[in-house]
Structure 1
């Protein structure tokens, strides 16, 4: 009989391998960001768009376009300096449901708007990359 810790480890490895927690965090963030009237329909629509993108090979949907990303950056850069602190940057990534563990906190280091947009898009793409694995081929029986 398998031990509980062995099953827990298998479950943890499975979730990490398929980046399930990243996807759930991101979907939750988008839900809270958009606050739709019908949250279940909103989530189903997002997942359907992801499925279609995977099957057809078209670009994955980005739920935060550059306008939204810029607006978020400008809210963080209230003084209008053109940059935000690493602490603000990490909090923004966290709020968006994106990975932030690899961000180094270097005293005095700042993040520009271009870097912010680039990193948000890169980290979003990293989440969707888990969905690109092994798209099943559809057989056509003629």
Structure 2
């Protein structure tokens, strides 16, 4: 059973998305492996501050070329689409939790690159905006 102080600490961390922030920063740090990690982290926090104000350009591990690559790996026969199951699993693998379960093309079981990238970008934006909204 949690004490009131522990409960308050957990609520604070959830409200301010502290664990998500630390997870994103740690992932970027390990991926980039900068020579000056403290400066790198400060830079990422500054970028996040600007992104919070402008609502764009959130610091994120994945960029558009990464999304093209993921789609290309899944579309091995170069048909121009992936299945709904591939789409869902790919977004989950990218760490995206909140995304359209049945996007455009899901009825035909053919998710295009455009749809995949649109949903992935929106999900990554949400996942990378690790701060309490104003």
TM score, norm. by length of structure 1: 0.61
Kindly indicate whether residue 97 of structure 2 is the aligned counterpart of residue 99 of structure 1.
Answer: yes
- Tell which structure's C-alpha radius of gyration is larger: 1
Contact kept in structure 2, 1:22 and 1:98, CA below 8 Å: no
Aligned-residue CA RMSD (Å)? 3.6
Give 2:57's match in structure 1, choosing from 56, 60, 78: 60
Kindly indicate whether residue 32 of structure 2 is the aligned counterpart of residue 36 of structure 1.
Answer: yes
Q: Identify unmatched segments of 5+ residues in structure 1.
A: 135-142
Distance 1:6 1:110 in 2: 50
Distance 1:83 1:101 in 2: 18
Distance 1:80 1:8 in 2: 52
User: How do 1:1-142 residues align onto structure 2 when only pairs under 5 Å count?
Assistant: 3-4=1-2, 10-30=8-28, 35-38=31-34, 40-41=37-38, 42-54=40-52, 57=54, 59-61=56-58, 63=60, 64-100=62-98, 103=101, 109-129=109-129, 131=131, 133-134=133-134
How many residues align structurally? 128
Q: Identify unmatched segments of 5+ residues in structure 2.
A: none
